[in-house]
Structure 1
């Protein structure tokens, strides 16, 4: 019943508008600062690997191994992905376009930061994002998704019909 409310109710859409604006602004400004600054994730990644040792490690060994074996050697790729990912997720959430996909990509980044031992605002962002993901299309109804989602649905409906005229009878 609660999920139905989140997915269909106009008042829920209004609440999601505020969730989206908050999250979108947080992501957009974080990404913009990285794009226009001298962002380099190598120190952050090495710090996260360092948090995997000691009596009470904040980072799991498997995640530290991933960071050490893949992320740090490819830090240039991660510098690009984090900066532009944050910016584009923020822009999409602010505009309410591809809202569910943007929220999904945002929560993936939140979990990557949490797995790397950074708490900050990530837990509250995860909680708000979960509500947006559960709400689905209703979360972007007061936004560009109002126009985009029906268009995309019609595209898929048109492309579902199978052309069988080429089959010999």
Structure 2
């Protein structure tokens, strides 16, 4: 019943609009601050790895291994990926364009931050992002997806009906 409300109800679309704008603003300002002020994830990543030890580690061993083997050696890539990812997630949510993709990527980033031992606003943002994901298209009815999604559906169907190989 609640899922139906989120996915179909016009009042829910209005509530979801405000949730989407709030989350979008949080993401876009966080990303833009990192882009304009410079960003270096190395200290954060090293700190997360250090928090993987002790009786009650804040970071699980498997995640610390991922950070040591993948993220830290490629920190320059993550120094670009994180701020621009945050910025584009925020932009997508603010504009209501590719909303479910933006919400999904935001939730994934929130979980990455949580896995790294940072709580802050991440749990709340995960819950709000999940509401947007569950709501699907209704979360973007007041946004550009109102026009983008039908356009893409029409053009994808048109291209799917064309044969791939011509004789």
Q: CA shift at 1:38, angstroms?
A: 2.3
Q: Given the alignment of the two structures, is residue 145 of structure 1 paired with residue 145 of structure 2, yes or no? A: yes
Distance in 1 (CA, whole Å) between partners of 2:119 and 2:54 is 19
Q: CA shift at 1:164, angstroms?
A: 8.8
Counterpart in 1 of 2:123?
123
Structure 2 SS opposite 1:54: coil
Q: Number of matched residues?
A: 167
TM-score (ref. length: structure 1): 0.95
CA spacing shift, 1:46–1:103, aligned 2, 3 Å: same
Counterpart in 1 of 2:77?
77
CA spacing shift, 1:161–1:111, aligned 2, 3 Å: same
Counterpart in 2 of 1:12?
12
CA offsets 1:104-143 (integer angstroms, 9 cap, x no match): 1100100000000000000000000101001111101101
Counterpart in 1 of 2:114?
114
5+ residue gaps in structure 1?
none
Structure 1 SS opposite 2:76: helix
Counterpart in 2 of 1:91?
91
Q: Given the alignment of the two structures, is residue 26 of structure 1 paired with residue 26 of structure 2, yes or no? A: yes
5+ residue gaps in structure 2?
none
CA RMSD of aligned residues (A): 1.4
Q: CA shift at 1:157, angstroms?
A: 1.6
